[in-house]
Amino acid sequence: MLSDSRFKASLLSRRTILGGGIAGVAAGLLPVPGLRNLAFAGPGPDRPLLIVVHLRGGCDGLNLISPASDPDFIEARASELRVAVDGPDAGHALANGPDAKVDFRLHAQAGGMAELYQGGQLAFLHAVGLTDGTRSHFVATDMIERGVADAASLNRLNDGWLSRALAVDGPPRGLVAASASGAVSGELAGLPSAIAVPSLDGGLAPPGGPQAAEVLKRLYAFTAGDVGVAGRDALGAMATIDGRLPRDAQGHIQGYQAEAHVDYGPAAEFGRPLKALAQLIKMDVGLQAATVDIGGWDTHEYQPGRFRAAVDHLSNGLAQFWNDMARYHDRMVLVTLTEFGRRLRSNKSQGTDHGRAGVMAVLGGKVRGGRFYGAWPGMAPDKLDEGVDLAVATDYRRVLTEVLEMREGRRLPAIFPAYAYPGPLGLFGALPTKA
């Protein structure tokens, strides 16, 4: 079993090689002198901007949102891996839980998320995930990113579900999608124009200097076909972004100024990509979708402290990003997902091993928040998956389909192969029925 740090490192390496394409290569090598900047138009005030936050490593949904008063849950799980209902470390009570007889509590460190939930902008889905179980990070992550439910389907797909959604009306041009990380995420695989923007603090000059820039410029200027178009688009997009960064009289990049009272510091490493994404969105360059990663969820040992820190960073990051995006609330829809949840019973190292169902969250100005969606299977022994895991009651593809159809304002052709969409859960109220 890979440790969390080794898992993240190997996952990043493999994604850089297999999933980045020209965008992943170009992301750190721009701008290019002499290459024309692309003219981008914003997506318009009514077209939602979709942001996918991947909790990498397998977030323990039962430690994030506990069925705190459920006697079966209390009997099965150690107290330090449950959310308390009273005392100094009591979790945040959540109204409108998925089971009226159970007190569902959000982790004590998730104060920012609790405020968003109580304010009606954030909704939760518990017992959600892949319908075909796997204990492998790599396989589960690939399935989630490709938008399938079984490993066999991976052999038939080379693109991500978000790439397919963005190309539903034909190949998109310009800067429509970005990953706020060191490589383009698997959700955007197969979208040649997608770019990776881990940070804008130092601009986007090529690490190899002017000579490397000139090589890239000449390489893609004379490359024919889709590869050439993708290369020129990526280079032009990055040159455009770099050209819009604020600079002083000496040409030095000026630090990003978030909205008043916004501080990304408490979000730690999660704050840096969120800050870069906020800055990119505010440039109004036509961005329609973005992905962000937050790691630290592979908690096989010493989970109480590690999980506490991870939840603190996640909650602070989402709250600060929401406040920073005040002008975009009605356009923005943010979805969190993870490859799988964790086992109900802890192991001997104060941790949890790979499980099944987890938690998703949906945040946005048009979200009917302050409530849970989807069914709750319960924690009774006969309701558990293989007697050890929280069972999956809601297919993750159902949530994503509803989000995508709200984004488009219409019914969509199949984005998720071999999936029969049963209809919306009601996250946004009534959705258009026109094709």
Q: What is the pLDDT along the chain (435 residues), one digit of tens a residue?
A: 444 433 343 333 333 323 333 344 443 333 333 344 444 444 444 567 999 999 999 999 999 999 999 999 999 999 999 999 999 999 999 999 999 999 999 999 999 999 999 999 999 999 999 998 899 999 999 999 999 999 989 989 999 999 999 999 888 877 899 999 999 999 999 998 898 999 998 887 555 766 777 787 788 888 888 778 777 777 777 788 888 899 988 888 888 999 999 999 999 999 999 999 999 999 988 899 999 999 999 999 999 999 999 999 999 999 999 999 999 999 999 999 999 999 999 999 999 999 999 999 999 999 999 999 999 999 999 999 999 999 999 999 999 999 999 998 889 999 999 999 999 999 998 655 544
pTM for this model (two decimals):
0.89
Q: Up-side HSE of residue 137: CA atoms within 13 Å toward CB? A: 25
Q: How far apart are CA 427 and CA 413, in angstroms?
A: 20
Of 216, 219, 220, 167, nearest to 190 (Cα)? 167
Tokens 């923007």 identify what position?
197
Tokens 């408490």 identify what position?
266
Measured in residues, the chain has a length of: 435
The answer to whether residues 194 and 173 touch, using CB atoms and an 8 Å cutoff, is no
Q: How far apart are CA 122 and CA 333, in angstroms?
A: 10
Q: How far apart are CA 210 and CA 354, in angstroms?
A: 47
Question: What's the pLDDT score for residue 340?
Answer: 97
Question: What's the pLDDT score for residue 286?
Answer: 87
What secondary structure letter does DSSP report for 126? E
Exposed e or buried b per residue across 22-55, where buried means at least 16 C-beta atoms within 10 angstroms of its C-beta: bbbbbbbbbbbeebebbebeebeeeebbbbbbbb
Question: What's the pLDDT score for residue 36?
Answer: 40
The answer to whether residues 407 and 401 touch, using CB atoms and an 8 Å cutoff, is no
Domain range summary for the chain, segments of one domain joined by +: 4-408
Here the tokens at position 394 are 């809601």
Question: What's the pLDDT score for residue 279?
Answer: 95
Q: Up-side HSE of residue 132: CA atoms within 13 Å toward CB? A: 15
Here the tokens at position 58 are 């397998």
At residue 416's C-alpha, the angle toward residues 331 and 270, to 5°, is 50
Q: What is the distance of C-alpha 294 from the center of its chain?
A: 8
The answer to whether residues 177 and 287 touch, using CB atoms and an 8 Å cutoff, is yes
Residue 21 vs residues 183, 196, 369: alpha-carbon distances, Å: 9, 11, 37
Question: What's the pLDDT score for residue 30?
Answer: 37
CATH of domain 4-408: 3.40.720
Question: What's the pLDDT score for residue 7?
Answer: 39
DSSP letter string, 238-258:
HHHHHHHS-B-TT-PBPPP-P
Here the tokens at position 131 are 């319908």
DSSP letter string, 259-309:
STT---GGGGGGHHHHHHHHHHHHTTS---EEEEEE-----SSSHHHHHHH
Q: Name residues whose C-beta falls within 8 Å of residue 254's C-beta, 6 or more positions apart in sequence.
A: 245, 246, 247, 248
Exposed e or buried b per residue across 179-196, where buried means at least 16 C-beta atoms within 10 angstroms of its C-beta: bbbbbbbbbbbbbbbbbb
Question: What's the pLDDT score for residue 23?
Answer: 42
Q: How far apart are CA 295 and CA 316, in angstroms?
A: 15
Exposed e or buried b per residue across 135-150, where buried means at least 16 C-beta atoms within 10 angstroms of its C-beta: eebebbbbbbbbbbbe
Tokens 């318009």 identify what position?
44
Question: What's the pLDDT score for residue 251?
Answer: 83
Q: How far apart are CA 178 and CA 86, in angstroms?
A: 42
The three-state secondary structure class of 369 is: coil
What secondary structure letter does DSSP report for 152? G
Residue 160 vs residues 1, 189, 271: alpha-carbon distances, Å: 26, 5, 25
Question: What's the pLDDT score for residue 207?
Answer: 58
The answer to whether residues 326 and 259 touch, using CB atoms and an 8 Å cutoff, is yes
The β-bridge partners of 276 are: none
Question: What's the pLDDT score for residue 209?
Answer: 66
Here the tokens at position 411 are 């019914």
The answer to whether residues 193 and 23 touch, using CB atoms and an 8 Å cutoff, is yes
Identify the H or E element spanning 49.
strand 49-55
